[in-house]
Amino acid sequence: MTQPNKDIMVKIENVKKAFGPKQVLKGVNLEIPKGKCTVIIGGSGSGKSVLLKCILGLMEADSGHIYFDGKDTVGLKEKEHFEIMRRIGMCFQFGALFDSLTNWQNVGFGLIEQGKLSDKEIRDVAIEKLKMVGLDPYVADQKPADLSGGMRKRVAVARAICMEPEVIIYDEPTTGLDPITTDIIDEMVLKLQRELGITSIIITHDMKSAFKTADHMAMLYQGEIIAEGDAEFMKTTDNPYVRQFVEGSAEGPIGMPATDHRQ
Ligand SMILES: Nc1ncnc2c1ncn2[C@@H]1O[C@H](COP(=O)(O)OP(=O)(O)OP(=O)(O)O)[C@@H](O)[C@H]1O
Ligand SMILES: [Mg+2]
């Protein structure tokens, strides 16, 4: 085995995943640098969520390796996998907040489950995290339903950073938000990046957000990384698939999803 590269947080090596006859990931290779923001773009059904679930260990790859901070996670026992998952904060697409809980209980959910701190202590930690994402302390005692969509996203991010993860994964963090709120969320992602030195992985269709936040970008197309580089490269590459996606054009090699990509 080659020596792990200390600057790489997650290394995905030739990962394949099929569901029955459908080969969803066809040998994905991607390196996610430590302390940087990596944005993964790609159309619906290209395998982004499947890849993300493989990184999180919610789904097992059929073959290949996923190294987390140099440690191969494929084939780990449940307990060891759990240890890795604790180092990752997940921010789900629709926030996945519990409506019946207050916002502080949502943010501090991981701490409540751990059972080490009192409610007051957890509420204090939650308020500190809410402040970090730009929300006032009064939000703590409200419930998700009392908040706007943009505020709910922030609560979801506060929850993701509550356990002080080394990596945070955002699945479509700005989908459904207006352009100004989108920009505010992008700014927050960048601020957390700077302040916490966290490794961020963002999955998005929003090219403006992608170019604003990305240190590194990769495009997934039909289960393969077809292009990667910094934002400038992705803006200027003449790869026709990237061009079409970035420009959001109906014209180009990416057509309507084919009914069958198998050979
Ligand atoms: N549990 C599963 N069982 C069977 N097929 C699945 C499963 N999960 C995903 N797939 C298939 O894998 C393909 C890729 O799905 P995935 O959810 O990763 O796409 P995506 O890139 O995240 O798309 P979107 O942008 O719409 O979220 C799809 O064709 C989907 O039907
Ligand atoms: Mg998805």
**C-beta of residue 25 within 8 angstroms of C-beta of residue 63:** no
In this structure, the answer to whether residues 76 and 56 fall within a common structural domain is: yes
pLDDT of 261 reads 44
Residue nearest to atom 7 of ligand 1 (CA): 19
Q: Is residue 212 part of a domain?
A: yes
In this structure, the answer to whether residues 181 and 68 fall within a common structural domain is: yes
pLDDT of 95 reads 63
Looking at 126, 147, 164, the residue that finishes a domain is: 164
In this structure, the answer to whether residues 8 and 135 fall within a common structural domain is: no
pLDDT band at 259 (very low <50, low <70, confident <90, very high): very low
Q: Is residue 119 part of a domain?
A: yes
Q: How many CA atoms within 13 Å lie on the side-chain side of 101?
A: 16
How many domains would you assign to the chain?
Answer: 2
**C-beta of residue 252 within 8 angstroms of C-beta of residue 74:** no
In this structure, the answer to whether residues 33 and 128 fall within a common structural domain is: no
Residue nearest to atom 3 of ligand 1 (CA): 19
In this structure, the answer to whether residues 180 and 81 fall within a common structural domain is: yes
Asked whether 17 lines ligand 1 (CB < 6 A), one says no
Q: What is the CATH number of the domain that holds 65?
A: 3.40.50.300
Looking at 116, 137, 164, the residue that finishes a domain is: 164
| Domain interval for residue 185 | 1-87+167-255
Classify each residue of 87-111 as buried b or exposed e, where b means 16 or more C-beta atoms within 10 Å of its C-beta: ebbbbeeebebeeeebbbbbbbbbb
Asked whether 165 lines ligand 1 (CB < 6 A), one says no
In this structure, the answer to whether residues 108 and 211 fall within a common structural domain is: no
Q: Is residue 217 part of a domain?
A: yes
Looking at 136, 164, 192, the residue that finishes a domain is: 164
User: Using one digit for the tens of pLDDT, what is the confidence trace for 160-203?
Assistant: 889 889 999 998 888 878 888 888 889 888 988 888 889 999 99
In this structure, the answer to whether residues 139 and 30 fall within a common structural domain is: no
Residue among 49, 53, 260 to mutate when testing ligand 1 (max atoms within 8 A of CB): 49
Q: Is residue 117 part of a domain?
A: yes
Query: What distance in Å separates the CA atoms of residue 138 and residue 146, rounded to the nearest whole number?
Result: 11
Residue among 25, 48, 226, 245 to mutate when testing ligand 1 (max atoms within 8 A of CB): 48
User: Using one digit for the tens of pLDDT, what is the confidence trace for 107-160?
Assistant: 999 999 989 999 999 999 999 999 988 899 999 999 999 998 888 988 998 998
User: Full-prediction pTM beyond 0.85?
Assistant: yes
The runs of H, that is alpha helices, within 17-175 are 48-56, 78-85, 103-107, 109-114, 119-132, 149-162
In this structure, the answer to whether residues 60 and 179 fall within a common structural domain is: yes
Residue nearest to atom 31 of ligand 1 (CA): 45
Q: Is residue 59 part of a domain?
A: yes
- Tell me which amino acid residue 173 is: P
In this structure, the answer to whether residues 118 and 100 fall within a common structural domain is: yes
- Written as six digits, the tokens of 234 are 């992705």
Task: Report CA(68)–ligand 1 centroid distance (Å).
Answer: 23
How many Å separate Cα 20 from the centre of its chain?
A: 26
Classify each residue of 135-157 as buried b or exposed e, where b means 16 or more C-beta atoms within 10 Å of its C-beta: beeebbeebbeebeebbbbbbbb
Asked whether 54 lines ligand 1 (CB < 6 A), one says no
In this structure, the answer to whether residues 147 and 182 fall within a common structural domain is: no
In this structure, the answer to whether residues 157 and 173 fall within a common structural domain is: no
How many Å separate Cα 38 from the centre of its chain?
A: 9
**C-beta of residue 31 within 8 angstroms of C-beta of residue 11:** yes
**C-beta of residue 151 within 8 angstroms of C-beta of residue 129:** no
Q: Is residue 150 part of a domain?
A: yes
pLDDT of 184 reads 85
Q: Is residue 260 part of a domain?
A: no
In this structure, the answer to whether residues 121 and 218 fall within a common structural domain is: no
- Tell me which amino acid residue 25 is: L
